[in-house]
């Protein structure tokens, strides 16, 4: 059977539980028609680049699907009928990626970069980077600060 990657966006005011129920409904349709979902990822609520049907955010759901084309046509038909689904996209692929998708890897990387308050508190006692270095260089060169240098040139 052909392999597909399928993403759909549902309205932001729908609860996470309702998104899971919709996903279970779509998964049931796929399995009835002889297909299967090999990977399912909830990417959460993300901001949209532009408004879709008066929504600025949406729940993103990603599925790796191994199913016949007729099953995906039925899934897309059901999504068109459902008012909570804003958009969907299905792409045929040669093989599915192993491990987490790029969006999940990105969110993990962002979490690591952002750190949190604990990281900020831990770094509070450390040098503030560029500011301290300039002051040290000026002291090494025995050069007075700018205000003193300007006062000396005016005298």
Domain range list for the chain: 3-99
**Domain 3-99 classified CATH 3.30.70.60?**
yes
Q: pLDDT of the chain along its 155 residues, tens only? A: 889 999 999 999 999 999 999 999 999 999 999 999 999 999 889 999 999 889 999 999 999 999 999 999 999 999 999 999 999 999 999 988 888 888 877 777 777 777 655 555 555 555 555 555 666 666 666 666 666 666 666 65
Strands 3-11 and 36-52: unpaired
Q: How far apart are CA 106 and CA 102, in angstroms?
A: 6
Decide: 82 and 26 in contact? Cβ < 8 Å: no
Predicted TM-score of the model (pTM): 0.67
- The C-alpha R_g of the chain, in whole angstroms, comes to 27
Q: Which of 81, 71, 87 is nearest to 4 (CA)?
A: 71
Q: Which of 107, 89, 101, 82 is nearest to 14 (CA)?
A: 82
């Amino acid at each position: 059977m052909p392999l597909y990657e399928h993403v759909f966006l549902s309205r932001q005011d729908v609860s996470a539980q309702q998104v899971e129920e919709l996903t279970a409904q779509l998964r049931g349709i796929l399995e009835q028609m002889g297909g299967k979902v090999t990977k399912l990822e909830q990417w959460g609520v993300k901001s949209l680049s532009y408004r879709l049907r008066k929504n600025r955010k949406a729940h993103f759901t990603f599925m790796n699907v191994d199913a016949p084309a007729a099953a995906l046509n039925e899934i897309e038909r059901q999504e068109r009928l459902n008012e909570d689904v804003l958009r969907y996209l299905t792409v045929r692929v040669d093989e599915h990626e192993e491990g987490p998708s790029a969006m999940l890897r990105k969110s993990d990387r962002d979490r690591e970069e952002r750190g949190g308050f604990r990281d900020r508190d831990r770094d509070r006692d450390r040098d503030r980077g560029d500011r301290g270095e300039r002051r040290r260089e000026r002291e090494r060169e025995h050069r007075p600060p700018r205000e003193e240098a300007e006062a000396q040139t005016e005298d």
